[in-house]
């Protein structure tokens, strides 16, 4: 990265001292990660934000829904800053509040809403988390989806899982013993979700038709291809990948799980990793004694995570030094109150 920008970021951080706390998601660029006080997956970062009551400014190097969650979990006088407002998430954008309210009306008409517990992946807007909180549900991340679903099935007969069909299906089928037939796919662009009342009544998991454009690119061919090229390779993927990819893989887990699995792997072992490329590249550099490769032949960054670059980080920090708060992310108090209930329920899950 540009040495001038590196020096400016370091100087601005030093000038701000403990007033600023910089969080960096594992998918961020190296040039940004070097300035993170803490790195983590979305679950760890939500907890870290909640655990920093003294930091006046939380600079969130991640995407919009993560900054919203940080704002919800921090106190009113703390300010959360997203260095580039264009850092959204295509998956989170696939579930819009009005669509989810319509879906709930459909469940109500069919007579199953009272038995249904909504569960939303962290990768959703504050509006959706607020909806889930209002209806007695819970937020989950890729590291605690099973625990969240176990809890939800103690509260009701069915789950409406938002917005990532793959995390919902993979967790239900591979970790909880449900069958593929227990799951139905609700398409918000079709009347009634494209499902019959019988299908909605029979289903245990109603999966929202959303997916991650990055993890959704890995295919069964990517797995077969790497196994042919690298005999004995371990295939390790994120649960946002398609069901057939996760089923064909050797290991599946959140970004924190992936990092720990690579750290614990014996020297000389080979690993094909199906997650965002910035993280896979860093893992390969940090473990030169192991053969770490990207699962697919094509390059696969999260383009919105990559919006946060060193120039944007320097700008946000220097503005703070000058006493100006730019790109603050705020959630309205009513939405925040309900979303907080669903987030607190997640933080209180046992285990």
Q: Is 25 annotated as a binding residue?
A: yes
Q: Known binder of ligand: residue 305?
A: no
The pair of three-digit structure tokens given for residue 45, joined into one six-digit string: 């970062």
* SS3 of residue 20 by DSSP: strand
| Residue 142 binds which entry of ligand SF4, ligand 13P, none, CB below 5-8 Å type-dependent | ligand 13P
Q: How far apart are the first and last CA of the chain?
A: 40
213 binds ligand SF4, rule: CB under 6 A? yes
Mention every residue, 6+ apart, whose C-beta is less than 8 A from residue 162.
95, 100, 118, 119, 120, 121, 124, 128, 132, 208, 210
> Cα–Cα distance between 50 and 43 in angstroms, integer?
11
Residues 20-79 that bind ligand SF4 (CB under 6 A): 27, 63
Residue 41's binding partner out of ligand SF4, ligand 13P, none, with CB under 5 to 8 Å set by partner kind: ligand 13P
**CB closer to ligand SF4 out of 118 and 210:** 210
Q: How many CB atoms are closer than 10 A to CB 250?
A: 14
- Segment lying near ligand SF4 (by CB under 6 A), choices 125-133, 137-145, 251-259, 299-307: 299-307
165 binds, among ligand 13P, ligand SF4, none (CB under 5 to 8 A by kind): none
What is the rounded CA–CA span in Å between residue 104 and residue 262? Answer: 41
- Cα separation, 21 vs 31, whole angstroms: 17
Q: CA-CA distance, 110 to 178, in Å (whole number)?
A: 22
**What CA–CA distance (Å, rounded) separates 87 from 212?**
14
Query: Of these, 41, 68, 296, 309, which contacts ligand 13P (CB under 6 A)?
Result: 41
Question: Considering the rule CB under 6 A, would residue 306 count as an interface residue with ligand SF4?
Answer: no
Which residue among 305, 308, 310, 331 contacts ligand SF4 (CB under 6 A)? 305
Kindly state the number of chain residues that form the binding site for ligand SF4, as judged by CB under 6 A: 13
Query: 59 vs 91, which CB is nearer to ligand SF4?
Result: 91
| Binding-site member from 28, 42, 78, 335 for ligand 13P (CB under 6 A) | 42
* 183 belongs to an annotated ligand binding site: no
Closest distance to ligand 13P from the beta carbon of 137 (Å):
18
71 belongs to the binding site for ligand 13P (CB under 6 A): no
Cβ distance 42 to 66 under 8 Å?
yes
Does residue 170 belong to the site contacting ligand 13P (CB under 6 A)?
Answer: no
In the chain, the DSSP E strands lie at 20-25, 38-40, 57-61, 79-81, 116-121, 138-140, 158-162, 183-186, 205-208, 234-237, 251-252, 270-274, 291-294
Query: Which does residue 304 touch among ligand 13P, ligand SF4, none (CB within 5 to 8 A, set by kind)?
Result: ligand SF4
Q: Is 121 annotated as a binding residue?
A: yes
Q: Based on the shown chain and the rule CB under 6 A, indicate whether residue 212 belongs to the binding site for ligand 13P.
A: yes
**Cα dihedral sign for 276, 278, 281, 287?**
negative
Query: How far is Cα 292 from Cα 286, in angstroms, rounded to an integer?
Result: 10
- 123 lines the binding site for ligand 13P (CB under 6 A): yes
**Structure-block tokens of residue 257:** 């799980």
Binders in 125-164 for ligand SF4, by CB under 6 A:
none
Catalog residues that contact ligand SF4 under the rule CB under 6 A.
Answer: 27, 63, 89-91, 123, 212-214, 276, 302, 304-305
Binding residues for ligand 13P, rule: CB under 6 A, are 41-43, 123, 141-142, 212, 240, 254-255
């Amino acid at each position: 990265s540009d040495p001038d920008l590196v020096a400016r970021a370091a100087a601005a951080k030093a000038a701000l001292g403990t007033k600023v706390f910089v969080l960096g998601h594992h998918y961020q660029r190296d040039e940004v990660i070097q300035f993170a006080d803490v790195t983590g997956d979305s679950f760890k970062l939500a907890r870290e934000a909640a655990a920093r009551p003294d930091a006046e400014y939380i600079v969130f190097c991640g995407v919009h829904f993560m900054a919203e969650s940080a704002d919800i979990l921090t106190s009113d006088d703390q300010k959360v800053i997203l260095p580039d407002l264009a850092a959204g998430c295509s998956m989170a954008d696939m579930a819009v509040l009005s669509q989810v309210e319509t879906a709930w009306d459909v469940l109500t008409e069919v007579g199953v809403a009272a038995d249904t517990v909504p569960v939303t992946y962290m990768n959703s807007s504050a509006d959706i988390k607020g909806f889930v909180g209002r209806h007695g549900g819970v937020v989950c991340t890729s590291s605690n989806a099973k625990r969240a679903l176990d809890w939800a099935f103690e509260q009701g007969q069915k789950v409406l899982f938002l917005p990532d069909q793959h995390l919902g299906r993979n967790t239900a089928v591979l970790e909880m013993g449900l069958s593929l037939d227990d799951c139905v796919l609700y398409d918000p662009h079709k009347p009634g979700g494209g499902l019959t009342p019988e299908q909605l009544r029979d289903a245990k998991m109603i999966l929202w038709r959303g997916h991650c454009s990055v993890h959704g690119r890995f295919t069964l061919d990517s797995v077969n291809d790497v196994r042919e090229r690298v005999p004995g390779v371990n295939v390790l993927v994120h649960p946002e990948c398609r069901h057939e990819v996760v089923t064909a893989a050797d290991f599946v887990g959140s970004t924190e799980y992936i990092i720990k699995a690579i750290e614990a792997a014996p020297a000389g072992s080979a690993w094909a990793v199906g997650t965002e490329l910035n993280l896979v590249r860093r893992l390969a550099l940090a473990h030169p004694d192991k053969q770490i490769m990207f699962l697919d032949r094509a390059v696969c960054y999260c383009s919105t995570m990559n919006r946060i670059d060193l120039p944007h980080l320097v700008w946000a920090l220097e503005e703070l030094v000058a006493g100006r708060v730019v790109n603050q992310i705020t959630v309205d108090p009513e939405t925040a109150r309900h979303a907080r209930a669903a987030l607190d329920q997640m933080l209180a899950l046992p285990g």
